[in-house]
Chain A
Amino acid sequence: MLLRMIRGVLFHQKGKMLLIALTIMLGASLATGMLNVVMGVEEKVNRELKNYGANIVVKPKDSSLLSEIYDVGEGAELNTAYLREDELGKLKTIFWAFNIVDFTPFLDAQVTLEDGSTVRMTGTWFNHHLDLPTGESLDAGVTGMRSWWDVTEGRWLDEKDENAGDEIMAGAQLAKKMGWHAGDTVHITASRGEKDVTITGIYDAGGDEDDGIFATLDLVQEMTDRENKAASIEVSALTTPDNELARRAARNPAALSSRDYETWYCTAYVSAICYQIQEAITDSVASAVRKVAESEGTILERTRLLMILITALSLVGSALGISNLVTASVMERSQEIGLLKAIGAKDRSITGVVMAEILITALIGSAAGYFLGFGFAQLIGHSVFGSSIEMNTQVIPVVAGLITLVTVAGSLPAIRTVLRLRPAEVLHGGH
């Protein structure tokens, strides 16, 4: 009998029940969409912030400060310590390998141009292809790590070209001074060799790099006889904003209790990633570039807070919207409830029937709403960040709980109110 009554309502009052289902669907989709976005957005924004370049710099442990402090430039005797280029792949084998987005080695050399002036030539990876022991492969290099460069003329140097070893990119200021253009061939002399190289492109970096030239790491190693060596590595990693534990650990990981150490090691703090890079690369010192690391933390935190507050507002909004409508629909059915009461139905069974109807409608509505909301999240993910937002299973119980709570809270008091009325009055229509 109960089933029949429910079915009767669902089918005979299609219009009204559809309206309720529609509203619940909208509310549920809003909740699902916003929760998915708020959970997925942090990682997306974090990835966007990689535009600012490296947040970790790796240097050899015994690197002499001399070259940096005295500006003496490259005299092979001074800078005795180097990192090994063949170890770079190890960066993708550390515990937080997935958080390492990009990295590139650097090796500087002073080169003499045809007119006798000396400039800095930086050897690096552009889009270096790496096959990792894990079976993965990736392209790493400055093409990704210097996203703010403007290639004003020509193109980026492509390492996949056969003659990439005879190519360079020149800084805008230098090119202007020397009258260089993309496609020109220039003669350069380094400490252990000289070569004719072609300029593939002119870049405007808006900084010191504009006064130098960039070439492949191989070329610089070859011309200065420093096989397999790199002076520094820049790493771009997704990190968690620092907290008190991370700051304590950054000072001295050995001073942590074993439990804290584990928490720290297994969280993507920039200090933890630095520590693991040091473990992976022989004789290296990895340090956080505070300018980037710190700012990322601030911005991530603000974005998250902002999204949480907007989500909270939309959840409250949809909750009130749903409960409003449910209340209205119960009030509307006061005549029917009165009739049921008049023919002898108990309060409890009436409440049961009405609640069951509404809850079934809510179930259908929120199931549809979940998928709709997930669609909204994807829409936002794709149009803003160009990638999809992962489906988060934690969202389902939250939305289900919210909708149930809201529907019950919206209908129960209304049913009570209607039941308290005398059937005769209700049926007569005066209220």
Chain B
Amino acid sequence: MTRKRMFLRMITASLLRRRSRMLIALLSIGIGATILAGLVTIYVDVPRQMGAQFRSYGANMLILPREGENLTKEDLTEILQAIPEEELVGATPYQYVRLDMTSRQQSFTAAGTDFTGVVRTSPYFSVEGAYPAETRQILVGREIAETIGVKPGFTMELTFQPSAAEGSLSPEESRVPGASLSGRGEGFGGGMVYVTALLNEEAGIDRITVDVSTQTPEYGGRIPEDDAFLAQFRGKSLPLVLGEDVDALSGATVTSGAIVDALNSAVQTGEAARPRTVMFTVTGILTTGGEEEGYVFLSLEDMEAMTGMDRLDVAELSVSAGAEQLERYAEAITEGGEKAQARLVKRVTRSEASVLEKLTALVFLVTLVVVLLTMICVSTTMMAVVSERRREIGLRKALGASDRSIRSEFLGEGMFLGLLGGVMGALLGFAFAQAVSVNVFGSSITFQPLLLPSAILVSMVVAALSCLLPIRRAVAIDPALVLKGE
């Protein structure tokens, strides 16, 4: 007990009395531990952080329907559960069809999609104007925009021509549940009124959307906001008679009639039911430098209303995970799903893996070199501080202290400094890593709980080791010589 107390007292006394030297030693160990803890934290977190940056290359996984299967949005939601939420950067469904712009004799590939997803899976999309936010708005690829000369704010009328197989519907067939009908009727002053209706399960009208932009704003133009008027249509089966099935909106009799005409014409003949025409407002022009510039993009809801199909042709996924993990997800989805299969976008995953590997190796080597050199720096400083105390060692020896007790005391002192410096360094290092992460990647870093004990351990070992050499030399010398100062 007393021995132990004496030992403690000697250590603390030396630390307190020789404040400036000890401060130097502590500072150097602290710096070493800071660098160690900071760099190791960064190193551990770099692949994750950089991986997130690499997501700017766009989707790295595609979900495709199996042959003959119909993949829907609900199916997609279910499939996505295979991927942890925090790793899923974004998922964007796409339905591709060709739409005609009859007024210009042009035909475009149109993609129905979810724009909130596009922003995440294709961050490289550069839009002049804005993404569509409401229904009947459209984003036009630069190539198309230049060919037909549209700018944000312009309108374009697009028509969907179902393929021959599904197109030649008889009036009866066109009233199948879930069908989407489009038609037009002549409104007030000869302006056209466009109506799209979606049929419910009983083949009654589920909801209708009207485009009355050609009508007088005070009268017929009010119809899209008039819920009471539009509600009349709900559940009615076609054809309709104005005044019996639905009442005309007062002051807009002609326009009301045009809407009824449009709906009736949509089902009267198979011919009229087929093309579904919708007027879109261009909100933005898309530049990518890729083939997307030859497409138009509209919301999936608009697309489904036009085509009457709820199938997805592809879903783009951006997943922040390593190459192997991605393969595992893809396999799990392909094996587990009856409707869909997952494919990796090799161009992105391959390149990402190789670049990320290089970057990680770079940070690793840099960390290694810096930590190694810093540790050597720390130990030279410690050595200088200890060898300065040769006289003290000599004196103790002359007083009869054994080599072992001297050694253990110095080691204890060094390790105490190591502990103190290690704690200080681990905290400072984490703060540094946090600052780097926030500055470079704009996100916070995860604290590695193992780092605190290991930083302390390393600094204690380094401190102890660097004490050992000079002590051994000092102990080996005859005390008389040391005391004499030679």
Contact = CB atoms under 8 A, between A and B. Distances in A.
B354 interface: yes
A27 B377 contact: yes
Contact of B35 (A298, A299, A313): A313
B347 A148 contact: yes
Contacts of A306: 42, 46, 363, 436, 440
A309 B15 CA distance: 34
Interface string B430-460: 0010011001110000000000000000000
A318 B39 contact: no
A328 B147 CA distance: 76
B380 A292 contact: no
B330 to A, nearest CB: 11
B140 to A, nearest CB: 13
A204 B344 CA distance: 11
Interface in A20-62: 22-23, 26-27, 29-30, 33-34, 37, 41, 45, 48-49, 51-53, 57
A19 B383 contact: yes
B46 A290 contact: no
Contacts of B130: none
B365 A380 contact: yes
B373 A331 contact: no
A382 B402 CA distance: 51
A359 interface: no
B361 A384 contact: yes
Contacts of B125: 290
A82 to B, nearest CB: 18
Interface residues of B, number: 76
A320 B31 contact: yes
Contact of A19 (B358, B373, B384): B384
A183 interface: no
A383 B365 contact: yes
B345 interface: yes
B366 A328 contact: no
Interface string B88-121: 0000000000000000001111000000000000
Interface size range on A against B: 35 or more
Contacts of A30: 369-370, 373-374
A331 B387 CA distance: 12
Interface stretch (B218-226, B242-250, B284-292, B410-418): B284-292
B465 to A, nearest CB: 15
Interface stretch (A64-72, A104-112, A256-264): A64-72
Nearest to B441: A302
A34 B367 CA distance: 10
B186 to A, nearest CB: 32
B39 A310 contact: yes
Interface in A228-282: none
B379 to A, nearest CB: 10
A342 to B, nearest CB: 15
B202 to A, nearest CB: 39
A288 interface: yes
A314 B53 contact: no
B388 interface: yes
B126 interface: yes
Interface string A295-317: 10011001101110110011011
B388 A314 contact: no
Contacts of A385: 358, 362
Given A34-B370, A320-B28, A384-B362, A305 B143 contact: no
Contact of B384 (A69, A70, A288, A325): A325
A321 B381 contact: yes
30 contacts: A19-B383, A23-B381, A27-B373, A37-B366, A48-B354, A52-B347, A52-B348, A53-B347, A68-B143, A69-B106, A69-B144, A147-B350, A148-B347, A207-B347, A289-B289, A290-B287, A295-B124, A299-B56, A302-B50, A302-B53, A302-B441, A303-B359, A305-B440, A317-B370, A321-B31, A324-B27, A325-B377, A325-B380, A331-B21, A385-B362
The 3 A-B residue pairs with the shortest CB-CB distance in the complex, in nearest-first order? A206-B346, A321-B377, A148-B350
Given A69-B106, A309-B435, 12 more contacts: A45-B358, A48-B354, A205-B346, A287-B289, A288-B289, A290-B124, A290-B287, A302-B440, A313-B432, A321-B374, A324-B28, A325-B381
Interface of B: 20-21, 24, 27-28, 31-32, 34-35, 38-39, 42, 46, 50, 53-54, 56-58, 106-109, 122-126, 143-144, 147, 287-291, 294, 343-351, 354-355, 358-359, 361-363, 365-367, 369-370, 373-374, 376-378, 380-381, 383-385, 388, 391, 432, 435-436, 439-441
